[in-house]
Amino acid sequence: MKTMKPFSLSLNGRIVEYDCTAVMGIINATTDSFYAASRVEGADIASRAISMIENGADMLDIGAYSSRPGAADVPEAVEREQLCKAVRIVRKAVGTDVPISVDTFRASVAEAAIDAGADIINDISGGDLDCRMFETVARLRVPYILMHMRGTPATMQQLTQYNNVVTDVIGELSRKIYRLEEAGVADIIVDPGFGFAKTLEQNYALMAGLNLFNDILGKPVLVGVSRKSMLTRLLGINADDALTPTAVLGALAVERGAAILRVHDPLEAAQSIRIIQALKNATPCSTSE
């Protein structure tokens, strides 16, 4: 069983340490997310955030731009307004101790959201869709989630040609880590990008080789597989029915060293992590003849 390496994040001048897998709850401040039950607006954002923390989320990730294939484009000004509003609502609801991540690939939106009270930038494009992102993250001195994707959400599924998906994705992330560190970014979290420019088979190859990401890149690994098509297509179900498969695959990710699970349902993720921790701490009984 792979043991997650403890990690720490610098959040607004304080160091937060994690010695077991953290749960990141997803809040979609949009009407276009692939999982309808995750969409939330207005005053409901605060109650959703509180509920997630009460159910085991260690941090929250807020987005206002759906990255699902075929989603409508959101103008930059609209994304900025919706995301910053949601960040302010959540920050007021959960207080200052809960880390808030913002899911955006636009540097100006990310900076505005940090000013509104967010702590972490989560960029699905790994800097590819906005050349100013790496410089912005370095200047703001905030943790950065570097996800692997090719192309855009509209074109990514035509860009799945790899020699070896595990080593190729690690290589592409490694080159970006070098650029980020050269720019002065200290806290980098890597995300293999399950479902982004990956076939069904490639997604499972990534999961099988997940331990290599931490071993080779030396960074905390975030896994986001919650209710995704790698589950629904494999099992012939829809996202509404994918809670149990999500918990199972999340547990397997934890066993392979995942540092953060990004999920729609924090309770089941937190329970899975507790079970795995208990198993790791257990001492097998010895037998004698």
Share of the chain above pLDDT 90, in %: 81
Eight-class DSSP state of 285: P
Q: Of how many residues is the chain composed?
A: 289
Enter the tokens of residue 143: 């943790």
- Mind listing the domains of the chain with CATH numbers? 27-279 (3.20.20.20)
Nearest to 265 by CA among 257, 273, 255, 256: 273
Whether 262 sits among the annotated catalytic residues: the reply is yes
Q: Which residues contact 12 (CB under 8 A, 6 or more apart)?
A: 96, 119
Whether 39 sits among the annotated catalytic residues: the reply is no
Rounded to two decimals, what is the model's pTM?
0.93
Enter the tokens of residue 197: 């420019």
pLDDT digits (tens, 9 = 90+) for 152-210: 888 888 889 999 999 999 999 999 999 999 999 999 999 999 999 999 999 999 999 99
pLDDT digits (tens, 9 = 90+) for 108-130: 999 999 999 999 999 999 999 99
Active-site option among 48, 150, 228, 256: 228
CA trace torsion 271, 276, 277, 278 (10° rounding): 90
- Cα separation values, 242 from 35, 49, 108, 194, 267, Å: 10, 21, 35, 16, 14
pLDDT digits (tens, 9 = 90+) for 131-141: 999 999 999 99
Active-site option among 85, 262, 274, 280: 262
Rounded CA separation 239/142 (Å): 32
Q: Which residues contact 157 (CB under 8 A, 6 or more apart)?
A: 69, 197
